[in-house]
A and B are shown apart, each in its own frame.
Chain A
Amino acid sequence: MTVPFRRTLADREDVLGGAMLAPALAYVILLVGVPFAFAIVLGFSNATAGSLSFGWAGLANYQTILGDPIFLRALRNSVIVTVGSQVLVVILATAAAQVFRTAFLGRRVARFVLLLPWAVPVSLAAIAWTWIFDSTFSVINWTLKAAGLLHGWLYWLGDPALALLAIIIVQAWRIFPFATVIVLAGLSSIPQEIVEAAIVDGAGFWRRLFRVELPLLLPVVAVAVLFGVVYTATDLGVVYILTGGGPANTTHVLPTLAFQRGILGADLGQGAAIAVFLLPFLIVVAIGMLRLAHRTEVGGAGGAL
């Protein structure tokens, strides 16, 4: 048998790399890049659904939405829901990771159950939650009532503030398993000897947690939060199914409002403007977090944390 003397494709790493990346690249460009660019373009147009006319509108769409109290409210809600749910997630995930780290009977089952919210389709989960928050059958209310803690009645999805709280809870519930798994992985990457050194050095549980473990977890938590922020800020399903933006447009977040205006209301230009409004902010947040993660990793050449 002779060995071919010619170079084959497998020998040419420069070409091979490109060839293997091409399918993924094509996929991302066609299904993410093009619609994304299209959305940005739409934001500056007066295009409407059901018509093929396309005219430049400049910044008119942005002027309109910035003068619109419903949009401003949705923007505020988006920020509240994203920040609120992520704060909740970080606290819960860190606590849960501590629990899941210790060995106990049925830990494998518990870990599996933990991951369920992550695997359940959003729509299905949101429907279950509408029942939990139902104005008549709310399990929360009945439980509180039975425990003697509640005297009136909570209209979870009927009261704007409570509805927002409900949305935060559901969003946190969705991201929490994923964050826990990430934090758990981060915890197990902390060398046991460092934790023991802290114990011998006289640090109690809280000092160990806040001075040793959390700082070492920071890069990992930053990544988890980054994912959480993106997932929550861009999510349409939870709010759409839970409240549909109601009552009286008080619980809209940007994605639901964009959907309402752009698709249901047929004003594609304005919908697109709403949808991409948060983009610059999200990019700034993402860059900030990635830098934070990186800085902690290399020990902050100059900066203390």
Chain B
Amino acid sequence: MAGIEIRSLRKHFGDLHAVDGVDLSIRDGEFLVLLGSSGSGKTTLLRMIAGLERPTSGEIHIGDQRVDGDVPPRARGIAMVFQSYALYPHRTVFQNIAFPLEASRTPRKQIEEKVRWAAELFSITRYLDRYPRQLSGGERQRVALCRALVRDPKVFLLDEPLANLDAKLRNTARDDLKRFQRQIQTTTVYVTHDQVEAMGLGDRIVVMEHGKVRQIGTPQEVYEDPVDTFVATFVGQPPMNLLDAGDPSLPPRTLTGFRPEHFLPKSVFGAGEDLRTFRFAVRRVEYLGSDRYVYGSIAGSGAPDATIIAKLPATITLGIPEGETHEFAVPRRALRYFDTETGLRRKG
């Protein structure tokens, strides 16, 4: 068991600053998600923790051991699950899971016990004699987790382990993963570009962009209190609406932000609620079963062409005719303000 300390970590590939000064403190037993689009540096950061990539500068500590220098991956007490699972195709499932144990010269009897124990945990015992190619994606993913588990690592590193699963399987796999991590209580760093995965899995989320950390916080903090417009629009589906409301009560150059699910017809709010109302010109209504997405623009705002989205739950049955202007409103407590130039959050 160990936490991870990362101090001003950098990795440059020529002119490209893949990781550009990251400070991060991961608590013992925490499930931390690195969230970012491709090229944000999240995978490079993970690979540096694993020891597959050497930092240009900065420090990495796992537990009380500094590992950024010449400490090879095998001495770091880590286990990693790759996006492709990277199972050894010429070895059976049993031999795959046994591989890290063989590498650490574990006695054969103990290997046998450990492999069976891990296979039991992920209910893949009946596949032990098969080869990876004879397994489905979900089964391979569990084999990869087993192989990581048997090493008794101090830290789990997971690189988009659910990305290759189909959507349906992904939900169950996510649930399994979370339950499993709670059970074994091992520090876990999880890389993904999927914000739903990040929200669902992480104790905390690290939002990354261009090699820099934009925000660290619980899923709730990141979603409700984004520190800047990048995080506000990156997290959440559909993204947070941002608009120059041209409100005279606000300082100049202020963007007003609100989540689509807070932007509802005025009539659905209670009388006592403190509301900010908008005249919403509806262009199109998208029916999605559990929700309706309403696309349109705000008349009289600074950017009348900007698309604003409202997300109406199925419980609101009010008819919204397309091509008409409606009275919509947002509770004032759900409004967030950002600086137009810097994109940074403004208090108030």
Q: Which A residues fall within an 8 A CB radius of B?
A: 191, 193-194, 196-204, 207, 211-212, 215-216, 218, 296, 299-300, 304-305
Give Cα distance in the complex from A216 to B90, angstroms: 7
For the complex formed, measure the closest distance between the CB of A291 and the CB atoms of chain B, giving whole angstroms.
16
| Chain A residues near B134 (CB-CB < 8 A) | 299
Which residues of B (198-214) have their CB < 8 Å from a CB of A? none
B78 within 8 A of A: yes
Contact between chains at B131 and A200 (CB < 8 Å): no
Alpha-carbon distance between A305 and B86 when the two chains are bound, in angstroms: 20
A194 to B92, CA, bound (A): 15
How far is it, in angstroms, between the C-alpha of A199 and the C-alpha of B99 when the chains are bound? 11
Interchain CB contact under 8 A, A207 and B52: no
| Chain B, 101-138, CB within 8 A of any chain A CB | 102-104, 131, 133-134
Judge whether A200 and B73 touch: CB under 8 Å. yes
Given A191-B84, A193-B82, A299-B131, are A201 and B90 also a contact pair (CB < 8 Å)?
no
**B68-91 Cβ-contact flags toward A at 8 Å (1 or 0):** 000011100011101110111110
Give the interface of B toward A (CB within 8 A): 50-52, 72-74, 78-80, 82-84, 86-90, 92, 99-100, 102-104, 131, 133-134, 147, 151
A193 contacts B90, CB within 8 Å? Answer: no
Interface contact B90-A296, CB-CB below 8 Å: yes
Write the chain A residue with the least CB distance to B95: A304
Q: Does A200 lie within 8 Å of B52, measured CB to CB?
A: yes
Contact A215 B73 (CB under 8 A): no
What are 30 pairs between A and B in contact, CB < 8 Å? A193-B84, A194-B86, A196-B52, A196-B80, A196-B82, A197-B82, A197-B88, A198-B88, A198-B99, A199-B52, A199-B72, A199-B73, A199-B74, A200-B51, A200-B73, A200-B74, A200-B78, A201-B79, A201-B103, A201-B147, A202-B104, A203-B74, A204-B103, A207-B102, A211-B102, A212-B88, A216-B90, A299-B90, A299-B133, A300-B131
Tell whether, in the assembled complex, residue B86 and residue A202 are in contact, meaning their CB atoms are under 8 Å apart.
no
Q: Which residue of B lies closest to A193 (CB)?
A: B86
Assess whether B99 is in contact with A215, with CB atoms less than 8 Å apart: no
CB pair A193–B50 under 8 Å, yes or no, is no
Establish whether residues A203 and B103, one from each chain, have CB atoms under 8 Å apart when the complex forms. yes
Is B89's CB under 8 angstroms from A197's CB?
no
Chain A residues closer than 8 Å to B78, beta-carbon distance: 200
Residue of A nearest to B99 (CB): A201
Please give 10 more A-B residue pairs, beta carbons under 8 A apart, in addition to A197-B80, A201-B74, A299-B133. Answer: A191-B86, A197-B147, A198-B88, A201-B99, A201-B151, A202-B100, A211-B102, A218-B90, A296-B90, A299-B134
B79 / chain A contacts, CB cutoff of 8 Å: 200-201
Which residues on the A side are within 8 Å of B72 (C-beta)?
A: 199
Instruction: Kindly list chain A residues whose C-beta atoms are within 8 Å of the C-beta of B103.
Output: 201-204, 207
CA distance A211 to B103 in the complex (A): 10
- State the CA gap A204–B102 with chains docked (Å): 11
Contact A216 B89 (CB under 8 A): yes
Residues of chain B with a CB closer than 8 A to A200's CB: 50-52, 73-74, 78-80
Give the chain B neighbours of A300 by CB distance below 8 A: 131
Considering only CB atoms, which chain A residue lies closest to B81 in the complex?
Answer: A197
- Give the residue name and chain of the A residue nearest to B130 (CB): A299
B256 nearest CB across to chain A (Å): 45
**A300 to B134 CA separation, bound complex (whole angstroms):** 11
A194 touches B88 (CB 8 A): yes
Interchain nearest-CB distance for B18 vs A (Å): 17
Complex CA gap A19/B142 in Å reads 52
Known contacts A207-B103, A212-B88; decide if A202 and B82 are in contact (CB<8 Å).
no
- How far, in angstroms, from A270 to B104 measured CA to CA in the complex? 60
List the B residue with the shortest CB-CB distance to A190.
B89
B84 contacts which chain A residues (CB < 8 A)? 191, 193
* Residues of chain A within 8 A of B90, CB atoms compared: 215-216, 218, 296, 299, 305
Residues on B with C-beta less than 8 A from A196 are: 52, 80, 82, 86
Residue with the highest number of chain B CB atoms closer than 10 Å, among A194, A197, A207, A218 = A197
CB distance from A111 to the nearest CB of B (A): 24
A214 to chain B, nearest CB (A): 10
Q: What residues on B are CB-neighbors of A197 within 8 Å?
A: 80, 82, 86-88, 147
Q: Which chain A positions have C-beta within 8 A of B147?
A: 197, 201
| Distance of A104 Cα from B73 Cα, bound (Å) | 24
Complex Cα gap A218–B82 (Å): 24
CA distance A26 to B131 in the complex (A): 44
Taking the closest CB of chain B, its distance from the CB of A102, in whole angstroms, is 15
B80, closest chain A residue (CB)? A200
CA distance in complex: A197, B89 (Å): 12
Q: Which residues on A sit within 8 Å (CB–CB) of B52? A: 196, 199-200
Least CB separation from B50: chain A residue: A200
CB distance from A297 to the nearest CB of B (A): 9
